[in-house]
Structure 1
Amino acid sequence: MMASDLDSEHFGRVTYSLVGEPSMFTIDDDGWIAVKAKLDREKQSAYRLKVEAADGGSPALKGLADVIIELEDINDNAPVFAQCNMTAVVQESVDPGHVLLTVSLTDADADENGGPFRLEITGDGASSFAFDSQMSLITKTRLSHSKDVYLLMVKGVIGLPRK
């Protein structure tokens, strides 16, 4: 913030203050605005401040300026699954591409940091499964008749699928 006063010396010295309700911001003698605490765009994406500039006269002459501070999003939130534990029952004779279940993820970040998601599968037999573009878990191969249970872990990661 910068204000000027054409008066000389003491009368031309400008002081700054924030006017109104308590703020997450401070302003110093040179007009620099700083934050008092960590800001989170997901809680509040913009702040409107009213800055008062006063000269050294008596009474002081004052001017007001509105300042809008808009926060850019950073990727500070992890994807969250709608359901943490899911179970699917399937016959071993199903063809590859059979849909077992569909997962849903959300992310509190803005669109550029909140998706699309890549789903990574780990666990015994993970190579027999994949996710399609609709986030449905599908079989990649015919399942083994000697294996009764597949315990898979799925991790949601922001970003396009690896090539």
Structure 2
Amino acid sequence: MLETYQMIVGQDENSLKYIFMVEGSVMTREPLDRESKSVYAMWAEATDGGDPPRGARVPLRVIVTDINDNSPLFAEPDEDVVGVREQQPPGTEVTRVRAADADEGNNASITYSILKENASIKDYARSKIKNR
């Protein structure tokens, strides 16, 4: 007959602060944030009630998957004002903006758009520029 379950921490001492076990079910104590910590490593142990007690251990790795919980941030968040000489040919690069997103995978894919001059957020035209 199974007597106890317990979690054993290896090198990752903070794992038990966020993850615990009750009767074999591994649960979280609070919401996990992938951007803060993406993997929790520990051992689960089951012990029987025999004499002598016998037990077994299994390594556990909890991998926190990403949700789209971050907005892109521009590297230079202030207004970008540049001068362009007149009579430049079509296709002349005027400026370059860069943004990054702390999420991963498709959640970090950024699409750049150009808004009409003096436009509201609802009134914009998407460009076909994609950052991958």
What TM-score, normalized by structure 2, do the two folds share?
0.74
Corresponding residue of 1:109 = 103
Corresponding residue of 2:129 = 133
Please give the residue correspondences for 1:6-155 in structure 2 after superposition, counting only pairs within 5 Å: 12-20=1-9, 21-22=13-14, 23=16, 24-29=18-23, 31-85=24-78, 86-91=80-85, 93-94=87-88, 96-124=90-118, 133=129
- Contact 2:112 2:126 (8 Å CA) reproduced: no
Measured in 2, the distance between the counterparts of 1:97 and 1:130 equals 17
Specify the SS of the correspondent of 1:17.
strand
Corresponding residue of 1:142 = none
Q: Which has the larger radius of gyration?
A: 1
Decide whether aligned partners of structure 1 residues 134 and 95 sit closer, same or farther in structure 2, where only a CA change above 3 A counts.
farther
Unpaired runs of 5+ residues, structure 1, are: 1-11, 136-159
Measured in 2, the distance between the counterparts of 1:33 and 1:125 equals 50
CA deviations on 1:86-140 (whole Å, 9 max, x unpaired) are 111235655554432110001111132101323242542799x9856378xxxxx
Measured in 1, the distance between the counterparts of 2:67 and 2:130 equals 26
Measured in 1, the distance between the counterparts of 2:112 and 2:52 equals 63
Measured in 2, the distance between the counterparts of 1:49 and 1:59 equals 25
Poorly superposed stretches of 4+, deviation over 6 Å: none
Specify the SS of the correspondent of 1:112.
helix
Counterpart residue type for residue 118 of structure 1: Y
Aligned length: 123
Counterpart residue type for residue 46 of structure 1: V
Give the structure with the higher percent strand.
Answer: 2
Measured in 1, the distance between the counterparts of 2:40 and 2:54 equals 26
Decide whether aligned partners of structure 1 residues 60 and 97 sit closer, same or farther in structure 2, where only a CA change above 3 A counts.
same
Task: Give the superposition deviation at 1:15.
Answer: 1.6
